[in-house]
Amino acid sequence: AFEVLVVGGGPAGSAAAIYAARKGIRTGVVAERFGGQVLDTLGIENFISVKGTEGPKLALALEQHVREYEVDIIHLQRAEALIPAGIDGLIGVRLASGAVLKSRAVILATGARWREMKVPGEQEYRTKGVAYCPHCDGPLFKGKRVAVIGGGNSGVEAAIDLAGITAHVTLIEFDRDLRADAVLQKKLYSLPNVAVVTSAQTTEVLGDGRKVVGLAYRDRTSGESHVLDLEGIFVQIGLLPNTDWLKGTVDLSPRGEIEVDSRGQTSVPGVFAAGDATTVPFKQIIIAMGEGAKASLGAFDHLIRTSVP
For residue 1, the minimal CB distance to ligand FAD (Å) is 18
Residues contacting 204, CB < 8 A, separation 6+: 119, 120, 121, 215, 216
- Between CA 227 and CA 222 the distance in angstroms is 15
The CA–CA distances, whole Å, from 186 to 88, 140, 163, 180 equal 56, 26, 14, 10
Taking CB under 6 A as the binding criterion, the range among 63-71, 103-111, 247-255, 293-301 that sits at the site for ligand FAD is: 103-111
For residue 7, the minimal CB distance to ligand FAD (Å) is 5
Taking CB under 6 A as the binding criterion, the range among 158-166, 170-178, 219-227, 279-287 that sits at the site for ligand FAD is: 279-287
**Per-residue x/- marks for ligand FAD, 244-273, CB under 6 A?**
-x----------------------------
Buried/exposed 267-276: b ≥16 CB within 10 Å, e otherwise: ebebbbbbbb
Q: Is 251 helix (H, G, I), strand (E, B) or coil?
A: coil
Of 121, 134, 270, 275, the residue at the interface with ligand FAD (CB under 6 A) is 275
Residues contacting 218, CB < 8 A, separation 6+: 200, 201, 203, 224, 225, 226
Strand 79-83 with 91-95, pairing: antiparallel
Which residues ranging from 59 to 78 are in contact with ligand FAD (CB under 6 A)? 78
- Between CA 163 and CA 185 the distance in angstroms is 13
Query: Residue of minimal CB distance from ligand FAD?
Result: 111
Which residues ranging from 28 to 57 are in contact with ligand FAD (CB under 6 A)? 30-34, 36-38, 40-41, 44, 46
Instruction: Give, in degrees to the nearest 5, the angle at Cα 54 between 164 and 210.
Output: 70
Minimum CB distance to ligand FAD smaller for 36 or for 152: 36
Residue 300 is a binding residue for ligand FAD (CB under 6 A): no
The binding site for ligand FAD (CB under 6 A) comprises 7-13, 30-34, 36-38, 40-41, 44, 46, 78-79, 109-112, 114, 132-133, 136, 242, 245, 275-277, 283-286, 288
